[in-house]
């Protein structure tokens, strides 16, 4: 039995190697068949045939000056001009100007919920814990605000001027500067 066991193991190992060799050969043959197909797909790619509206030299290339270029290549000026004169910019501006005012009512559900929390504070929190103590609140103040425009648009379109009066004693003429 001791002599037969090594012989059986050698035969099984030989058969396993034959299987792995044939698998390797099949994989290698497949790789040789498809060799170069990926790179030829990239090299032969014609974007104008695959991408609708493709343009190899679009107008926007003037804004890109390379990785080390500074500035925006005039993008900001062109954008501002388009905003002021183009249809899209005019439409957006009109929508800001003509939209109805946002009116918040003191009876709105979220304000009423806040008032309910104030009224039920003792039952919600109770007088529990070391940091909690009963406090008397004398009043709640509600202020009505009306939002007419998007703040970002107002800030973008606003310029700020500041005037300083330098080194002038009270009541004497001085030098003015505007910044």
pTM of the model: 0.30
Q: Which of 72, 179, 95, 65 is nearest to 80 (CA)?
A: 72
Residue 24 domain-assigned (yes or no):
no
Q: pLDDT tier at 59 (50, 70, 90 boundaries)?
A: confident
Residue 113 domain-assigned (yes or no):
no
Residue 73 domain-assigned (yes or no):
yes
Residue 26 domain-assigned (yes or no):
no
Query: Mind listing the pLDDT tens digit for each residue in 122-179?
Result: 777 766 666 766 677 777 777 777 666 655 555 555 566 666 656 656 656 655 555 4
Residue 89 domain-assigned (yes or no):
yes
Residue 95 domain-assigned (yes or no):
yes
Compute the distance between CA of residue 41 and CA of residue 36 in angstroms, rounded to an integer.
9
Based on the structure, what is the number of domains in the chain? 1
Residues with Cβ < 8 Å from 148, sequence gap 6 or more? 101
Provide the pLDDT for residue 87.
92
């Amino acid at each position: 039995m001791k002599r037969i066991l090594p012989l059986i193991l050698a035969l099984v190992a030989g058969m396993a190697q034959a299987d792995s060799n044939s698998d390797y050969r099949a994989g290698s043959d497949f790789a040789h068949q498809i060799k170069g197909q990926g790179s030829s797909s990239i090299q032969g790619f014609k974007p104008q045939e695959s991408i609708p509206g493709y343009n190899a030299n679009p107008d926007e290339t003037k804004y890109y000056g390379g990785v080390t270029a500074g500035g925006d290549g005039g993008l900001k000026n062109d954008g501002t001009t388009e905003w002021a004169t183009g249809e899209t910019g005019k439409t957006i501006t009109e929508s800001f100007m003509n939209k109805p005012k946002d009116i918040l009512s003191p009876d709105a559900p979220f304000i009423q919920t806040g008032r309910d929390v104030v009224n039920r504070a003792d039952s919600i929190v109770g007088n529990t814990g070391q940091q909690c103590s009963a406090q008397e609140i004398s009043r709640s103040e509600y202020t009505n605000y009306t939002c007419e425009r998007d703040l970002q648009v107002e800030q973008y379109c606003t310029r700020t001027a500041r005037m300083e009066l330098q080194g002038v004693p009270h009541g004497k003429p001085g030098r003015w500067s505007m910044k």
